[in-house]
Structure 1
């Protein structure tokens, strides 16, 4: 009886160890895929593949205490060569989605910096007003004048782009329109920006007026249920009983925002198939990188992605593409 019990306990222990090893392996695989997400991103276009891959710069990292409980810290990824060259480097500031911090977007911002950008985040988990983005720009201006900083006279303040995911989409619109240094932003990108239905429900601090955004704007989202929902207009309230779901960034919202932008502004909207809210910023990373490569680094090849008849409108991984770039 004792032998049977001992054998049983050994079997239970082995099963427990195997389960623990399986969980550990699953976590490690997930971490690997997250860190190397660009290798697992589905691409179809030649240029999409090019800009989804890492650029040719090695990347370094620094962070700075913001002395602000909301912002927490300023996190900067940048080409390592900045420490030995006298060049100025364009900037992309990224606004977090709800509850996220700069660490959420670490691999994403590292990727951007490998293409020659200073990529900047912070730890504000409620970015919607754009206030923490305004403070981030003030920090960059100050650091650019700090003789003791590695960034002294290295930040190209004439070429600043801004991007955001989810609530961060509302934040970038509000940064450009409502904040003091909004006029310094040269190009804008928003992945799965919170729709005007949700900003209406959530209150004034969420609302934005995209009609006042007058810089090149790239709007994206996925077709998955969380992003897209099934409502076809702002007038349809979410109604679980009747199966009505307002997605975070549904097609009607993308089209509404595209149409509200000034006609004279370069503007593009697109949805990626089989992509949902949590992955939307990663799945568009190649084209987002190309967007900033064109507007902040004058990469003419990148521009060809977004023109009428260009790669994005003809890429079969995407749908509902609209562009006014000729």
Structure 2
């Protein structure tokens, strides 16, 4: 087990942790070894809001592994959180994370640590099939219990009313399901490279719950859907109507959500299925440029949705939002208003 502090310094984080196990795309049954790609050139954000939240936040980050247990299905948690929890009377919002198929929290350590540097407590169950959202909701409840425990490092320092869910690939389905099935415990969901709906019947159920999603079941909260333009598992658009072939694209999922729900979608140009696992460089299968290009707007979304940050919200406003005009992104849409 470990409990260590990581300083929010981008150079240190670039060199400290790299993916050591080859991950798989959702449709690949076993890990696939490939030659590590050359490090991508240093990424430069294209707009002010993106640049602000692309930078590491003001909090030093602590990481707990092998300490916190357990989900209802027996998995432990990895947690990234501000090292000086509660400083200045701050209570910290929660982000509950869902791994992609065959992946573990350590594959996303760079992203999750970045979010913690902005004041979030980020918790990830170490489970490799998270599409039902069950373990993500378990994680939220675990931190709520810790918040009530005066002997816990988290005691009295968690904002239990501000919880977001985010996940990659199958974990994107899990984030969606956590929002839909959480009874109001989760206030916003971010889906990253969520797979087309034709895949979901093949995914395992847990305690009778399916990984398949029903956008109409989301009646509150908000949703951000993100995919990569080079990701065939999570296409941005589809040629045939969803009435004929179902929801096989990010746009189809977005359109199926209630019209009055605060929602946004965008496609990262050139990103493949596992770029989100970059540390930040790519050493793994189906990754070309790494995680850097995701950092700014994912952080801004949670700063807006969970911390009421009006500057961050400017990125997502319908018609005028910065994300909708950023050249690194395409297929953008939003219903977010002031």
Q: Normalising by structure 2, what TM-score?
A: 0.75
Q: Which has the higher contact order (CA 8 A, sep 6+)?
A: 2
Q: Normalising by structure 1, what TM-score?
A: 0.78
- Larger CA deviation: 101-110 vs 195-204: 195-204
Say if 2:314 is the partner of 1:313: no
2:226 corresponds to which of 214, 220, 227: 220
RMSD of the alignment, in Å?
2.8
Judged with a 3 Å threshold, the aligned counterparts in structure 2 of structure 1 residues 193 and 228 are, in CA distance, closer, same or farther, namely closer
Partner of residue 129, structure 1: 132
Post-superposition offset of 1:79: 1.0
CA–CA separation in structure 1 for the residues paired with 2:41 and 2:86: 28
* 2:311 alignment partner, SS class: helix
Post-superposition offset of 1:90: 0.7
* 2:101 alignment partner, SS class: coil
* Runs of at least 5 residues in structure 1 that lack an aligned partner in the other structure: 1-29, 238-249
Partner of residue 139, structure 1: 142
CA–CA separation in structure 2 for the residues paired with 1:67 and 1:315: 41
Post-superposition offset of 1:95: 0.6
Residue by residue, what CA displacement relative to the aligned partner does 1:181-236 show, whole Å, maximum 9, x if unpaired?
44111111111112212114547623111221131110010111434569634699
Post-superposition offset of 1:72: 2.7
Larger radius of gyration: 1
CA–CA separation in structure 1 for the residues paired with 2:75 and 2:89: 30
CA–CA separation in structure 1 for the residues paired with 2:161 and 2:71: 27
Q: Which has the higher helix share?
A: 1
Partner of residue 294, structure 2: 284
CA–CA separation in structure 2 for the residues paired with 1:54 and 1:255: 31
The answer as to whether partners of 1:70 and 1:124 remain within 8 angstroms in 2 is no
Post-superposition offset of 1:58: 0.6
Say if 2:274 is the partner of 1:267: no
CA–CA separation in structure 2 for the residues paired with 1:83 and 1:324: 34
Judged with a 3 Å threshold, the aligned counterparts in structure 2 of structure 1 residues 80 and 197 are, in CA distance, closer, same or farther, namely same
Q: How does 1:1-326 map to 2 (within 5 A)?
A: 34=18, 40-63=42-65, 64-67=67-70, 71-82=74-85, 85-178=88-181, 181-200=182-201, 202=203, 205-213=210-218, 214-227=220-233, 232-233=239-240, 253-280=249-276, 282=291, 283-307=293-317, 308-326=319-337
Partner of residue 23, structure 1: none
* Runs of at least 5 residues in structure 2 that lack an aligned partner in the other structure: 1-13, 20-38, 278-290
The answer as to whether partners of 1:160 and 1:296 remain within 8 angstroms in 2 is yes
